[in-house]
């Protein structure tokens, strides 16, 4: 598939599923269509393939990512230093076997993103346990969390339930009128969130250590499908992380077919930060925290649509 932006692939230590192939133009099978139900916690990659949801690669270009990290304004240096110290402190003093420990790191990273965005004259809001608006015309049997997918070749139906709430929603907004109050003042009505965001949104799903990060991908994709249908968006950007390993995604609706693009894993682990400390101690300079700078800047970029041709990544 021809590139839509521009970059190199990264190797990953995880074994990722094979790249999906588009459905062939074969006639529908001579049998009645089937219908079955899955939940976010039980959906598998085979379920997605059966519903004709395709998988492709999203490849970041290392040079462009480094340029993005190097573009942080000088006023953000304090935020980066504070974040680096806090994440290392969490790894040093908090048991990371439980989801609460992971959330401490996710909270710290996302909050730092909002502060760095503010220094770049942008306004970003975080919505923990964010609930999507109800899908229009996609509910079945009164289940507000249920989305219907139909295989265009076989006519088979799949209903996905439980995907209307995500661990974190992150949106960018214009700080004009009363938009900030509508988004952040406690007790307010949040029905205007999607109009205010104007498509500048991504969500982050937390993956536990009990299962591999890759095994959480189908559930994260299903969440993205719910958001795409709920908010009537042309694409959805999302991130899957267990705090030390991160994967970036884009889900697109292309000619009636749902396709998700998946990056290689990126690391923000204890070992990476320990190596950063050694490099800093050797006097190598600002490159010691480059991994953290890249992560923060990528998250800030992921909250808004990225124009084709920037060279930051390519879809293939």
Per-residue pLDDT of the chain (316 residues; tens, 9 = 90+): 444 444 444 444 444 445 555 555 455 556 788 888 888 888 999 999 988 999 999 999 999 999 998 888 899 999 999 998 999 899 999 998 888 999 999 999 999 999 999 998 999 999 999 887 654 444 444 445 678 888 888 888 888 888 778 999 999 999 999 999 999 999 888 888 888 998 889 999 998 777 888 999 999 999 999 888 877 788 999 999 999 899 999 999 988 889 999 999 998 866 656 645 444 444 444 446 888 899 999 999 999 876 555 789 999 8
User: What pLDDT does 199 receive?
Assistant: 84
Q: What is the pLDDT of residue 16?
A: 46
Q: Which residues are CB-neighbours of 303 under 8 A, at least 6 positions away?
A: 117, 124, 170, 171, 172, 200, 201, 202, 237
Q: What is the pLDDT of residue 109?
A: 95
Burial class (CB in 10 A: 0-12, 13-18, 19+), 299: buried
Supply 217's token pair.
Answer: 């991908």
Question: Which phi and psi angles does 245 have, rounded to 5°?
Answer: -130, 135
> What does the pLDDT read at residue 105?
94
Q: What confidence score (pLDDT) does residue 71 get?
A: 87
Q: Are 289 and 84 in contact (CB under 8 A)?
A: yes
Considering only CA atoms, which of 75, 166, 175 is closest in space to residue 124? 175
């Amino acid at each position: 598939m021809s590139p839509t932006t521009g970059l190199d692939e990264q190797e990953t230590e995880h074994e990722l599923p094979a790249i999906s192939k588009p459905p062939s133009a074969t006639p529908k099978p001579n049998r009645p269509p089937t219908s079955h139900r899955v939940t976010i916690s039980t959906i598998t990659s085979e379920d997605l393939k059966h519903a004709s949801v395709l998988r492709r690669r999203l490849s970041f270009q290392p040079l462009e990512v480094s340029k993005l990290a190097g573009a942080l304004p000088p006023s953000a240096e304090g935020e980066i230093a504070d974040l680096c110290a806090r994440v290392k402190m969490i790894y040093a003093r908090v048991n990371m076997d439980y989801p609460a420990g992971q959330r401490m790191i996710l909270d710290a990273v996302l909050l730092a993103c909002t502060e760095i965005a503010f220094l770049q004259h942008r306004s970003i809001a975080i919505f923990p346990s964010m609930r999507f608006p109800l899908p229009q015309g996609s509910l079945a049997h009164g289940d507000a969390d249920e989305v219907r997918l139909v295989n265009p070749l076989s006519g088979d139906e799949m209903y996905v339930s439980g995907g209307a709430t995500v661990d974190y929603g992150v949106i960018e907004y214009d700080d004009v009128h009363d938009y900030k109050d509508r988004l952040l003042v406690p007790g307010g009505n949040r029905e205007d969130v999607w109009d205010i965001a104007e498509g500048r949104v991504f969500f982050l799903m937390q993956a536990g250590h009990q299962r591999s990060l890759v095994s959480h991908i189908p559930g994260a994709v299903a969440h993205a499908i719910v958001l795409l249908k709920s908010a009537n968006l042309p694409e959805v950007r999302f991130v899957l992380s267990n705090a030390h390993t991160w994967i970036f995604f884009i889900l697109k609706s292309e000619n009636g077919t749902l396709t998700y693009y998946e990056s290689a894993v990126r690391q923000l682990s204890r070992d990476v930060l320990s190596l950063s400390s050694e490099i800093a101690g050797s006097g190598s300079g600002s490159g010691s925290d480059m991994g953290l700078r890249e992560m923060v800047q990528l998250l800030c970029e992921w909250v808004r649509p990225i124009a084709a041709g920037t060279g930051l990544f390519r879809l293939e």
